[in-house]
Amino acid sequence: MNKIYLFGFYIFQFIVKYTPNFILRPVLNFLACLIYIFDKKHRKIIKINLDFAYGKSMDKKEKERITKKCYKNLVYFLADFIENQGIKKEKLEKKVTFENEEVLENALKNKEKIILITAHYGNWELIALSMGAFFGKLTGVGRALENNHLDNMLKKNREQFNIEMLKKNGAMKGMIQALKNDRILGLLVDQNTADKEGVLIDFFDKKARQSHSTALLARKFDAVIVPAFITTNDYKNYKITFYDKITPVKSDNIDKDILELTQKQSDAIEKAIRKKPDEWFWFHKRWKNQYEEIYK
């Protein structure tokens, strides 16, 4: 199966690299439509998630539009990943703009330790590249791919502009070292976790479990948490928006502090999703920890 995935990736890579843009975009749109038609499994998960999050407050037509957009986002996300291999800073600068960047700039100016959080939202890989290229050294955490060749390719692409990537398993030691070395620590914090790996927070007025490692680190090292999310309207130009920083509060109740910090992160993610819901990765079983039955 790994060989099939690798072969498919090489074909896709060839198409992206050597197809003229005026032909490439229709091809990518067609691929997105094709995957949407045949991928019944994930199409069902997206429907369940949207129904669970929005209920009747969002009509079926809008949910269907978002579902189709999810597949289009995925195809263009992969295409952009290929295009960004070895990208020059000048080209990246033309591709990405920033909103409220003073939130991050002021934290850097004040020499605060920074944990940048985002979600599987928009072209999230482009956030890491942009942080490394324009704001300073960044350490990120990512899950290794099963295919070693593809994993090495992913690692090489992610580690441009002095970006350091840690494997998710056993990453805590590296994250601590990153903060000690005054590197920006970048984390994706929007996915479901096991009971022992997170705390229960409210997400779209439903209980969900979210990793509390960001809150633990922020509290221990007095680091500010800066939420950032990336959006696009044309898959050519991208905007990264920084939200107000979250400053840890230390009280005598550590558990309460950690829960509040984690909830504030979840609130920032939900705010971004509600603003532009078709950018989020609705494929993931976000509420599985507490509502496993809805996915059966």
- State whether 132 and 275 are in the same domain: yes
**pLDDT(8) > 70:** yes
Among residues 81, 99, 132, the one where a domain terminates is: 81
The pLDDT assigned to 227 comes to 98
CB 210 within 8 A of CB 266: yes
Section 13-34 average pLDDT: 96
Section 85-109 average pLDDT: 96
Section 276-287 average pLDDT: 98
- State whether 205 and 291 are in the same domain: yes
How many secondary structure helices (H) and strands (E) does the chain include?
11, 9
- State whether 53 and 187 are in the same domain: no
- State whether 180 and 233 are in the same domain: yes
Single out the residue of 188, 214, 221, 205 nearest to residue 291, CA to CA: 205
pLDDT-based confidence at residue 62 (cuts at 50, 70, 90): very high
Among residues 42, 63, 81, the one where a domain terminates is: 81
pLDDT-based confidence at residue 1 (cuts at 50, 70, 90): low
For the chain, the domain total comes to: 2
pLDDT-based confidence at residue 293 (cuts at 50, 70, 90): very high
- State whether 122 and 259 are in the same domain: yes
Q: How far is CA 196 from the centre of its chain?
A: 22
Where b means 16+ CB within 10 Å and e means fewer, 142-153 reads beeeebeebeeb
Question: Which pairing describes strands 198-203 and 206-211: parallel, antiparallel, or unpaired?
Answer: antiparallel
Does 198 map to a domain? yes
Residue 227, beta-bridge partner list: 117
The amino acid occupying position 71 is Y
- State whether 97 and 243 are in the same domain: yes
The pLDDT assigned to 153 comes to 81
For the chain, percent of residues with pLDDT exceeding 90 = 88
The pLDDT assigned to 248 comes to 96
For the chain, percent of residues with pLDDT exceeding 70 = 99
Does 32 map to a domain? yes
What digits encode the pLDDT tens for the residues 107-154?
999 999 999 999 999 999 999 999 999 999 999 998 877 778 788 888
**Enclosing domain of residue 261:** 91-295
CA distances from 121 to 181, 229, 270, 276 (A): 28, 7, 11, 10
CB 96 within 8 A of CB 130: yes
Section 209-228 average pLDDT: 97
CB 186 within 8 A of CB 104: no
- State whether 161 and 261 are in the same domain: yes
Does 255 map to a domain? yes
**pLDDT(162) > 90:** no
Does 86 map to a domain? no
**pLDDT(94) > 70:** yes
- State whether 18 and 150 are in the same domain: no
Whole-angstrom Cα distance, residue 102 to residue 106?
Answer: 6
- State whether 116 and 234 are in the same domain: yes
Single out the residue of 217, 212, 211, 219 nearest to residue 251, CA to CA: 219
Q: Is the pTM of this model over 0.85?
A: yes
Does 109 map to a domain? yes
Give Cβ neighbours of residue 61 (< 8 Å, ≥ 6 apart).
Answer: none
- State whether 141 and 230 are in the same domain: yes
Mean pLDDT taken over the chain: 95
- State whether 50 and 77 are in the same domain: yes
